[in-house]
Structure 1
């Protein structure tokens, strides 16, 4: 009987820990999204030169490694806001370039709406079904490697006079599908207790949503040109 009570207590503790993890992750995700929106608006208003935009993106990716190293320290939370703030700041010039197009506001709004529908739809599905999508890890890792190679090719091929405009469209479509897969995978790992650090879980979800939005923006903008 004592053994049963001990197991039951441990199970209840695990459920509480998972629920706390879910609550902390999505609260922090919401706050970082708001903060990124603020820094993106500031960036759009001041319209910094390209070198500033490039610098913010480079520094933000360096911050990923710093956050990973400091994930269990008190510095992790402010570093997360610094990272997402820089990512939002880097988004400003991209938004300005689309808003300058005919129907630019509609392009941005459509991409934003599609991002929201995808995020809430996939998150709601995983949370309601409780399906385990951890099996997708290998496929997502392989897909990420393929896309990294494709991205390098898109930088190199134009140097030899190769038109990569069609490849860019295919690349954005592939990223959208990959990020949808990562949303399923990461959400599943969060609600099933595989992820235990809410900082890293938040950063993962943030990058999924950020990349999803940027590449949906690219696709919607391309179809608008047509």
Structure 2
């Protein structure tokens, strides 16, 4: 009798995991499409980098302060779409900047292709092997702190007229590695039952994809300048 109960519990668990995974990828697809739409609108409107920065800060405020309180309700979906829409809008000025560069369109397409290849490849690897990447949690946390500290250093130094191009490129390369690790970690969390909220899972994967894309843009753009 206990064996039957155990089997039923395991089956239910796998069903729940499949549901979270399905809902996560469905919502991720919708939010990526919505952010692409808002990015296009932002580009057409010619929004400035300052407005883009404000939109990014508002989006981060939604994730840090509003989403944790609404993630278990339908309101959380509205917050996620507001967040992704603002992030998409903030990308408009950045994309317009690269389009003004020589071969800018090619750079953007290469960054998109690279982002898609990394995300699909890493996700497929985790889903196929079912490997547990929870051990990456500490590395990701430390990586975030290091990236934030290095970014603040570059920003503060630039205010005093110092330029650290090599450091900036190293930060972008670090973000690519960090976001790749985060994709592995978050996908692993879903399939092993560590993450049961598809709204939070979607937000994490969305942020990974956007940061991966903008970092690849920076690296490819620097190579083009050279």
The TM-score range, normalised by the shorter chain, is over 0.9
Partner of residue 219, structure 1: 219
Partner of residue 176, structure 2: 176
Q: Give the gaps of 5 or more residues in structure 2.
A: none
Q: Give the deviation of 1:69 after TM superposition.
A: 1.7
Partner of residue 19, structure 1: 18
Partner of residue 50, structure 1: 49
**Deviations, residues 135-192 of structure 1 (Å, cap 9, x unaligned):** 0100110011011100110111123332211111111011101101111111111111
Partner of residue 2, structure 2: 3
Number of matched residues? 225
1:202 maps to 2:198: no
Q: Give the gaps of 5 or more residues in structure 1.
A: none
In 1, the alpha carbon distance for the partners of 2:45 and 2:158 equals 31
In 1, the alpha carbon distance for the partners of 2:35 and 2:190 equals 22
TM-score between both structures, scaled by the size of structure 1:
0.97
Q: Secondary structure at the match of 1:101?
A: coil
In 1, the alpha carbon distance for the partners of 2:74 and 2:87 equals 21
The residue correspondences of 1:1-226 to structure 2 (distance < 5 A) are 2-65=1-64, 66-226=66-226
Q: Give the deviation of 1:49 after TM superposition.
A: 2.9
In 1, the alpha carbon distance for the partners of 2:82 and 2:209 equals 17
In 2, the alpha carbon distance for the partners of 1:148 and 1:75 equals 30
**Deviations, residues 73-96 of structure 1 (Å, cap 9, x unaligned):** 220011101100000000011000
Q: Give the deviation of 1:4 after TM superposition.
A: 1.5
TM-align CA RMSD: 0.9
**Deviations, residues 73-127 of structure 1 (Å, cap 9, x unaligned):** 2200111011000000000110000011010100000011000000000000110
In 1, the alpha carbon distance for the partners of 2:94 and 2:213 equals 11
